[in-house]
Each structure stands twice: as C-alpha cells, then as structure tokens.
Amino acid sequence: MRNFSGTTIKLERKRKRDSWIYKEDASLTHGQFDRILAGDVGFLEHSEEPLCREFYVEYMSNVLRPRVIVDYEREPWILDAGTVRITFDMNVRAAVDGFDVFDRSLPTLPVLEPGKLVMEVKFTEFLPQIVRDILPGKAQEITAASKYVLCYDKASYLRGFDYWQEGWNVPSV
C-alpha cells in the first residue's frame, strides 16, 4: 500500500509456520531503499538488523530482483473480542513501468474484477460468532488470496520470459 511518504520504510518478510503467519521487519532509510532498488545491496551484509543480512544472502544467492509493486487502498476494522482485525483491501492494482514506490506517476493496472475486494480476517484468540455469521459459508475455511501473486500475474505480460531488465546493476558474486 503506497502512501508515497518516505518517513517510514520497512523491509518486510512474511513467514508461515504451520497455520501461523507472522511478519518480520527492519527499518530502512530512503537512501538505503534507493540503493537496494539500484542493485547496490552490499551494505546490507554488515547490517545490525538480522533481516537485512538475511535479505542480502537471499538477494545474492537467489538473484532476487524487483518484480512488481502492489498498490491498494485499505480500510481496517478492529474488534477487541478475540483480538480480531478485519481489513478490506480495495482498488488492488499492479504498478507498471518502474519500481519506485514513491513515484506518484507510475501507471497501474487493476487486478480484481470491478466491485471485488479482498477481505482479510485475522485473529489471535478466537473468531467471535458475530464475525463467523457475516462470512459466507465457503469463506469460513482457511483460504489464501495473495495480492502479490495477483499483481505479479497481471504485470507478467510486461516481462515476457526475461528475468533481467536492462539497466539493473547485477552484482557479481
């Protein structure tokens, strides 16, 4: 979700262990973000943040490169009972023609059918009956809808089968 503000930039990783999903993050400066985007990641190797060091290893080992910007509008709702957080992600779009999340002029492509949105229900203790009652029958099963996968697929026609884009600084190992 782009808010075009450079005041808080985080490198995030989602992990799944059994049925539990959790996020790890590390703060980045705007300059560090720009360096990563340009392929200059060497500074991460000696970062104090374990996630930054692990990202460096993954980047170098698996030839990681930017693939897509996921953009959307979110409306969150919090219910104290059961520690429930419900979010509605609307206007989900894949930004194309660049990877600068601060560029307001990047064109985007919608990835959902008109009128559709992604509803996410997260809870830590229990799912209250009032929430269960509003969910459609099939939604009560654990399902996954990845906004990243939807956007990656939507923008894939731009990449064809090439994994490299001219102009990227690909460091040698």
Per-residue pLDDT tens over the stretch 107-156 = 999 999 898 888 888 887 788 888 888 777 766 555 567 888 889 888 88
Please report the pLDDT score of residue 80 as a whole number.
78
Say if residues 87 and 76 touch (Cβ distance below 8 Å): yes
Number of H helices, E strands in the chain: 4, 6
How does residue 28 score in pLDDT terms, banded at 50, 70 and 90? very high
- C-alpha to C-alpha distance for 6 and 72, rounded to whole angstroms: 17
* Backbone φ, ψ for residue 46 (5° rounding): -115, 20
pTM: 0.73
Please report the pLDDT score of residue 158 as a whole number.
67
User: Which residues does residue 118 pair with via DSSP β-bridges, in sequence order?
Assistant: 89
How does residue 55 score in pLDDT terms, banded at 50, 70 and 90? very high
Q: What is the mean pLDDT of the chain?
A: 82
Per-residue pLDDT tens over the stretch 72-120 = 999 999 987 768 899 999 999 998 888 888 888 889 999 998 988 888 8
60: CB partners within 8 A, 6+ apart: 41, 171, 173
Q: Is residue 49 predicted with pLDDT exceeding 60?
A: yes
Task: Spell out the domain ranges in the chain.
Answer: 9-62, 69-159
Please state, in angstroms and as integers, the Cα–Cα distance from residue 68 to each residue in 45, 98, 112, 149, following that order.
24, 8, 16, 9
